[in-house]
Chain A
Amino acid sequence: MNYLTRRLVTFPFVLIGVSSLVFVAIRMVPGDSITAMLGTDAGLLTPTQREALAVYFGIDQPWFVQYGRWLLGLLQGDLGISVTYGKPVFEVILKRFPLTLELALLSMIIALSVGVPAGVFAATHNERPSDLAVRIVAMIGQSTPSFVLGLLIIYALSAGFGVLPIMGEFSPLWQDPLANLSQLIFPAITLGFAFAASVTRISRSAMLDILSEDYVRTARSKGASSRSVTWRHALPNALIPVVTLSGIEFGYLLGGAVIVEQIYALPGLGRMVLGAILQRDYALVQGTVLFIALNFMIVNLLVDLAYFALDPRIRLRDR
């Protein structure tokens, strides 16, 4: 069985595991679900009302029936009803998702377009002052939490320029690209900064390793110039670990969006899930967490596909 089939075969198993974990986690909330759902208001319910609600939410059934129904619902895109929004969870998620996705992608674009060239530059200037400078910046960048950087940016903008990043209502990219970008650029920098630092560090060390490989020496013995050696021979090999990192980091970006959306008061998925946790809207928490995990898994599957395209050793291993 080759690499790709193996990945595709395990995918649904992991998906089942992920959904079960989320399901079980939410059932482990102390107290019964109605109380958990309605908070103090639950005290006002009559036993009949309780019963009715329990039937409505299906929690009068044994856990395996609940789980079965829930899984069946999942397959149809039914994640339950959000108590706070009074709408289907899936609908609530879909409305918020574009912002979070765009934020994560924009951060990734920023991080890769800054990090890869910076890493290559540092590696080709190994042990020189410019390399040292890049390494110091990357080290500090990797150690700067988004919530510190975000607050510093807001402070610098307001104290230095007297402007505040636009908060509040989100303008989607397809309606007003300019407003959209001016709204998301600072959050994206905040979110992508540490990632850019990691990309720089990993592309630097990968380039350094590869520049000492035998095949780079071969290329030089053919008369390839330093530029051609760097970009044609070394970089495609050095991108392989960068792709791995990008897959893993995408998850961190989706997670980090919670914090960044909170700082910049952006109405995205992350901010919503935080609100849902604080308001004990468990259907929404459950649905959102699952939705984000699914996205993360899909991205990692895409990363594996990218490997397949990038590295003939993986592609051809089973022939």
Chain B
Amino acid sequence: MNPLLSVSGLRVGFGRNPEANEVVRGVSFDLAAGETLAIVGESGSGKSVTALSINRLVDFGGGRILGGSIKLRRAEDSVLDLTTATERQLTRIRGAEIGMIFQEPMTSLNPVLTIGTQIEESFRLHRGLTGRRATAAARDALERVRIPDAARRLNYYPNQLSGGMLQRVMIATALACSPRLLIADEPTTALDVTVQAQIMALLAELKQETGMSMIFITHDIGLVAGIADKVVVMQNGQAVEQGELSQILDHPQHPYTQHLLHAVPHFASGRSTRSDGPRGNMEPAAAALKVQDLMVRFPVTGGFFGRATGAVHAVEGVDFDLMPGETLAIVGESGSGKSTTARAILGLVRSRGSFTIGVRQADAGQSARPVQMVFQNPYSSLNPRLTVESLLAEPVIATGGRVNAQTRAKMVALLDRVSLPENSLERYPHEFSGGQRQRLCIARALMLNPSVVVLDEAVSALDVSVQAKVLELLVDLQRDYGLAYLFISHDMAVVERIAHRIAVIYAGQIVEIGDAKSVLSAPQHPYTKRLIAAVPSIDRRHEHYELDTRQVPSLVRPLGFEPGRAEWTQFGPDHRARAET
């Protein structure tokens, strides 16, 4: 059978001297009509550039195609090499024969145009529709991506819709003129996991309905396990392995593919949790951190004089305790209040409730500030104008200490402990990679000998293989120093690797808490069930996604609102869930 798309020996470079900056170095693959091809790789692998080369959008980002061919079989059965096509030919192909969706739905739609106008544009360009007929077509397109109340939504501007909704709009736009090939460039990376599951299900259904081909770019091999027919694994601009999905998943040949499949966290429904937790030991130790009835509310002001009209109940009656040497993961989606919980514990937001920070009867050098934090973004949590030495010295100075030979020795030891080169002290943050910076942040947090470290999405911004290494480091440090971790994350695969216990937070409240294994393998609360069902997993690739379009409820409450007391149901020695009424 003749392929729809045939890429061979594709080479792409960037900048003034593209030959020297080759990002894609000889990639070849074929795609048959109706097939789905996944291109998997980490950042810098050239996967997105490969995708953007197919419809030649790469030209506008400063890229140049240096060699190879991209042959597209067109509707009338002629074959066109896209590497030599004219811009005029390309504008007729883009949108009509090749549609594309992108990673960031929030920034991928024009903020000053209504979504209706933006969908209509496709019909106007390729079908010549105008006026009422274009509007009707746009409405149908929105309905096709299961957006309720489509006619009204046409008049919305992008900033009035959530990320998941915007990605549906993007899909509607891309599929408006029924292209035979859809390129999806990490379309769910910026979205919450339940929304991701919805989008994946939608794409699978639409593919079924239209019989289109699809190229799906992702860093997460688990995500495409349920949808791809073929997989190309890319590393450093080259396709290191390609083949049928089952072949790649079950019998990977290349060491990098094996690494991606085995070294990197994948969700395994509670089968790969840690078993070195401190609980269950005979002697119940004092908690390193005990949080009782934590509450964070932000006033909502309105009206002419800015009176308080209500409050956002961001965190509502959160209770937990954390033992020395234990990791408690707080998982939830964006807006659930998990980061606010962390910030409240560190005193970065005003809160009510009580904390007991149990300092074990202090050894010498025990911290003045026993709780420390590592932030999500390694690029903004280090002041770019300070050297590593000043960065590490800050906590010491802040707690009234002196920077002397002893402090410096400690800095050197810690840098060594987090595997950073010895000469790091005089260097500036921008000289380090993302993973190295996060190691720096960890070292900084340890300067004060804390007993508790709050890790707020501390590995989320890192590439998957870097993630795995930082997680290993965290586990080692926990063992060495007896640290207690409060690990805030949205990523169930990562949580499974590091947590002893898990608290699931939803709409500002903990809905389920317990030991990691039983929460992940036998979730009890409906939200936890939904969350875990949405996590992509290689094992469960043959299961069907279910469409669930429920939105997170509003956290804005009227003045004086007090929630009822929680009723808890016990499901095991250390596993309980909130009873829903």
Contacts and interface: CB of A to CB of B under 8 A. Distances in A.
In-complex A–B contact (CB below 8 Å)? yes
Interface stretch (B224-232, B301-309, B388-396): B301-309
B124 to A, nearest CB: 10
A312 B174 CA distance: 23
Contacts of A217: 57, 60-61, 102, 108
Interface in B71-116: 87, 91-96, 99-100, 102, 104, 107-113
Contacts of B157: 312-313, 316
Contacts of B87: 226
A224 interface: yes
A311 B112 contact: yes
Contact of A220 (B57, B92, B113, B122): B57
A319 B161 CA distance: 12
Contacts of B108: 214-215, 217-218
B512 interface: no
B159 A215 contact: no
A223 B111 contact: no
B102 A223 contact: no
Contacts of B304: 1, 5, 9
Q: Which of A211, A214, A225, A319 has the most CB of B within 10 A?
A: A214
A225 B91 contact: yes
Interface string A294-319: 00000000000000001111001101
Contacts of B274: none
Contact of B100 (A215, A221, A311, A316): A221
Given A1-B301, A214-B104, A313-B157, A222 B111 contact: no
Contacts of A313: 111, 157, 159
Given A1-B303, A5-B304, A214-B104, A219 B110 contact: yes
A278 B125 CA distance: 65
Nearest to B106: A214
Interface string A201-217: 00000000001111111
Query: DSSP majority for the A interface?
Result: helix
B160 interface: yes
Contact of A215 (B111, B176, B302): B111
A142 interface: no
A237 interface: yes
A236 interface: yes
B326 interface: no
Contact of A312 (B55, B60, B111, B176): B111
B439 to A, nearest CB: 31
B488 interface: no
Contacts of A236: 112-113
A233 interface: yes
Given A5-B304, A215-B109, A311-B111, A316 B104 contact: no
Nearest to A217: B57
> For chain A, which range describes its interface: under 10, 10 to 19, 20 to 34, or 35 or more residues?
20 to 34
Given A224-B91, A312-B159, A1 B112 contact: no
B95 A221 contact: yes
A221 to B, nearest CB: 4
A225 B88 CA distance: 8
B153 interface: no
Given A215-B111, A217-B102, A218-B102, A224 B160 contact: no
B348 to A, nearest CB: 25
B340 interface: no
A317 to B, nearest CB: 8
Contact of A237 (B100, B102, B112): B112
Contacts of A1: 301-306
B92 A223 contact: yes
Given A213-B107, A218-B173, A220-B60, A316 B160 contact: yes
A218 B306 contact: no
Interface residues of B, number: 40
B578 interface: no
B361 to A, nearest CB: 52
B170 A218 contact: yes
Contacts of A317: 159
B122 A214 contact: no
Contact of B111 (A211, A224, A225, A237): A237
Interface in B39-57: 55, 57
Contact of B112 (A5, A212, A226, A310): A310
B121 interface: yes
Contacts of A312: 111-112, 157, 159
Contacts of B95: 221-224
Contacts of A226: 87
Contacts of B60: 211, 216-217, 220
Given A1-B301, A313-B157, A319-B160, A221 B55 contact: yes
Contacts of B122: 222-223
Interface string B160-194: 10000000001001101000000000000000000
A160 to B, nearest CB: 44
A219 B102 contact: no
Contacts of A316: 157, 159-160
Contacts of A212: 61
Contacts of A222: 94-95, 121-122, 125, 173-174, 176
B126 interface: yes
A215 B55 CA distance: 16
Nearest to A9: B304
Contacts of A214: 102, 104, 107-108
Nearest to B88: A225
Contacts of B125: 222-224
Nearest to A2: B302
A219 B99 CA distance: 11
Contacts of B305: 1
Given A1-B303, A214-B102, A218-B173, A224 B121 contact: yes
Nearest to A234: B110
B107 A215 contact: yes
A290 to B, nearest CB: 28
A218 B52 CA distance: 11
Contacts of A224: 91, 95, 121, 125
Interface in B297-330: 301-306
Interface string A1-18: 100010001000000000
Contacts of B109: 215, 218
Given A5-B304, A214-B108, A312-B112, A221 B91 contact: no
A300 B125 CA distance: 39
A226 B157 CA distance: 23
Nearest to A127: B16
Contacts of B173: 218, 222
Contacts of B126: 223
Contacts of B104: 214
Contacts of A215: 107-111
Interface of B: 55, 57, 60-61, 87, 91-96, 99-100, 102, 104, 107-113, 118, 121-122, 125-126, 157, 159-160, 170, 173-174, 176, 301-306
Interface of A: 1, 5, 9, 211-226, 233, 236-237, 310-313, 316-317, 319
Instruction: Pick the 9 closest A-B CB pairs, nearest first.
Output: A223-B95, A223-B94, A222-B95, A312-B157, A221-B100, A214-B107, A215-B110, A214-B108, A218-B108
Given A214-B104, A217-B57, A221-B99, 10 more contacts: A217-B61, A220-B57, A220-B94, A221-B95, A221-B174, A222-B125, A223-B91, A224-B121, A311-B111, A317-B159
7 contacts: A218-B110, A218-B118, A221-B100, A223-B94, A223-B96, A223-B122, A312-B111
